[in-house]
Amino acid sequence: MDKQPKKLPAGIQTFETIIEGGFIYVDKTRMLVDLVEKGNVYFLARPRRFGKSLTLSTLEAMFQGRKELFKGLYAEEWLNRPNFKPSPVIRLSMNKVTTKQGLDMLNNSLIKLLKDTALLLDVNISDSLSAGDLFSNLIINLYKKYNEKVVILIDEYDKPYIDYIDDLAEAEEVRNILANLYVQVKANDEYIRFVLLTGISKFAKLGVFSKLNNLTDISLHNDYAALCGITHEELLQNFPDYLELTAEKMKISTDELIVKMKDFYDGFSFNGAVKLYNPYSTLRFFVDGFFGNYWFDGGTSQMLVTYLKDKNIMAEQFHNYPVSLEFVQNPGEMDSAPIEGFLYQCGFLTLREGITNDFALDYPNREVLNAMSRLVSKNLLTRRDEDFSRCYTDTINALYTLNYEKLVSALNRLLASIPYEDYRQAEDNIIYNAYTFSPKEWFYRAAILTFFRGCGLAAVAEMHTNKGRADLVLSYKGKIWILEIKVAYKGENPAAKADEAYRQIFEKNYAKPYPNAACIGMAVDDEKRQITEYRM
């Protein structure tokens, strides 16, 4: 490579730092200029770690008239127009607000945030103990100082509210505090040029969307579907050097690397059509040079851990999950949203074009599916003092050494850990899946598949051949495993079911595409909820 490639902006959320530091910047300013020219009060919902903060930082620099930062970018022409005038900018990051230490601390933290912002902008504001009054005072006094309408950019507007997901009574109190703050945007409309709020969801109870009747929600808008995230074309255009360097490091071709990256990190969609790579995961992957669950491990997991602690679900039940346009626009409040609504708002499920409905929900990529599967498996294996790490270690060791008995033992510990209530809910779960086998069969298969994916294995369900579909196909260290599962209900012979499962692997050509595959037919005794017979 003739010259050193530009640096990777992994973890950097400030536009100025990226440009002045010589980091790669994926130019999104065409969409930002379009926003400014078409309206003035917007809301954008995107999951954590998706570039919302960088979007607001870029807008801040645009409105401030930082022309030197935009050379060669689409916004350069807009900044050089004769009628362009800079505006004072109030930028608030609700990530800075202290939560979980009492409501008084939260209110004081909001007040400190507003006073610090006023100090940064060199504006005097009152000594009120009301965050709403201070915000109003800041807007008006900033307008008076510059005799220009004010730009307001609020990052993660819902963060203090979401932090109280495990205490809905306190969340209601937090809602009242925040509503009093955000209502000042409408109250001071005459002093404001432009507003953009970002968050993970459109929580109506926060009062923003009822009070700001002129607010435009662009979360599903086709024109701004790629505002946050990296499209496949942008990946190829902006990171060719790193694609080449990483492929060399991994000893594969660039084309092979791109296919693997697409599988792991592409697939997020906010309109059902345009697909995006998660920017945080993509950059971390280039830095580290291996496929990891970066997004989940980067701070998004605790909220999900808390929420799903007592939920009886399997990761598999949310594949191609049909939803309506109404659901997508309003997936629900914290205290009333269904599980799929919560997962969608947090980014663990993303939009796909629907077949029978307006849209469908699904996991965006392998990174998110594996991370979700791992969390579900850990929840199952800790309910009865089982150890996920031990079960994981035994499974990996069994696959590596081709130890069938050890593999079955690990899977039986998994099945033994599942509460009775989960089995009872299998009838409900099957409604959301287009499988042809019985609800209990689905549940056993889903539990095992979820566990394999939680172990980070490349596991696929219902793999098609010319004569049928294998229950589970998984790969580890270049070795292919084919698993067929049958359930022996009361009065049925588990041994006969295991024979049937093993025979089906070969009669249906499940193993034909994979020479030397390890094949195992298993029978789950439904009364014991254990694999009691297997053939290999």
What stretch of H or E contains 519? strand 518-525
Residue 158 confidence (pLDDT) above 50: yes
For the residues 223-234, what does the mean pLDDT come to?
Answer: 97
User: Can you give the residue ranges of every domain in the chain?
Assistant: 15-224, 232-362, 383-417+457-535
Which residues sit opposite 476 in a β-bridge?
Answer: 479
At residue 336 the predicted structure's pLDDT band, cuts being 50, 70 and 90, is confident
Q: Of 251, 238, 248, which is closest to residue 283 (Cα–Cα)?
A: 238
CA atoms within 13 A on the CB side of 161: 24
3-state SS, residue 34: helix
Q: What's the confidence (pLDDT) of residue 425?
A: 58
Please choose, from the candidates 197, 189, 187, 192, the residue with its C-alpha nearest in 3D space to the C-alpha of residue 218. 197
pLDDT of residue 233: 97
pLDDT at 206 over 80: no
Reduced to 3 states (helix: H, G, I; strand: E, B; else coil), residue 190 is helix
Q: What is the pLDDT of residue 8?
A: 97
Instruction: Give one word for 95, left, alpha or beta, with left for phi > 0 and alpha for psi -120 to 50.
Output: alpha
Q: Which residue has the higher pLDDT, 399 or 240?
A: 240
Rounded to whole angstroms, the Cα distance separating 313 from 10 reads 34
Q: Using CA atoms, how far apart are residues 348 and 367, in angstroms rounded to an integer?
A: 10
115-124, 255-264, 375-384, 470-479, range with the lowest pLDDT? 375-384
Coil vs helix vs strand at 167 = coil
Q: How many C-beta atoms lie closer than 10 Å to residue 274's C-beta?
A: 16
pLDDT band at residue 301 under the 50/70/90 scheme: low
Per DSSP (E only), the strands in 38-175 are 41-45, 89-93, 150-155
Which residues, 6 or more positions from 305, have their beta carbon under 8 angstroms from its beta carbon?
A: 375
pLDDT at 322 over 90: no
pLDDT at 434 over 70: no
Confidence label for 156 from pLDDT (cuts 50, 70 and 90): very high
Tokens 């610090």 belong to residue: 116
Q: List the single range of 83-92, 145-154, 461-470, 509-518 with lowest mean pLDDT.
A: 461-470
- Please report the pLDDT score of residue 195 as a whole number: 96
State the chain's mean pLDDT as an integer. Answer: 86
Q: Which residues make Cβ contacts (< 8 Å) with residue 371, sequence separation at least 6?
A: 293, 295, 296, 297, 301, 348
Q: DSSP character for 268? A: B
- DSSP-derived letter for residue 296 is I
Give the pLDDT of residue 58: 98
Q: State whether residue 241 is helix, strand or coil.
A: helix
Among candidate residues 112, 76, 80, 77, the one with its CA nearest the CA of residue 94: 112
Reported as type and span, the H/E element at residue 442 is helix 439-454
CA 22 and chain centroid, separation: 29
On whether the CB atoms of residues 212 and 35 are closer than 8 A, the answer is no
340-389, pLDDT tens digit by residue?
888 888 888 999 887 767 888 999 999 998 888 888 887 777 655 567 88
Look up the CATH architecture of domain 15-224. 3-Layer(aba) Sandwich (3.40)
Sheet holding 359-362, edge to edge: 321-323, 359-362, 350-353
- Other C-beta atoms within 10 Å of 249: how many? 11
Kindly report the three-state secondary structure assignment for every residue of 367-427: HHHHHHHHHHHHHHHHCCCCCHHHHHHHHHHHHHHCCHHHHHHHHHHHHHHCCHHHHHCHH
Nearest to 73 by CA among 90, 58, 88, 52: 58
**Mean pLDDT score, 457-473:** 68
Spatial CA neighbour of 100 closest among 165, 182, 177: 165
Confidence bin at 124 (pLDDT 50/70/90)? very high
The sheet carrying 479-488 orders its strands as 458-464, 469-476, 479-488, 518-525, 530-535
Q: Residue 21 is inside which H or E element, if any?
A: none
Asked whether the beta carbons of 75 and 32 are under 8 A apart, the reply is yes
How high is the pLDDT of residue 451? 86
Residue 354: predicted pLDDT:
78
Do 355 and 188 contact (CB within 8 A), yes or no? Answer: no
The average pLDDT across 193-216 equals 78
Please list the helix, strand and coil fractions of the chain in percent, rounded to the nearest 5, in that order.
Answer: 50, 15, 35
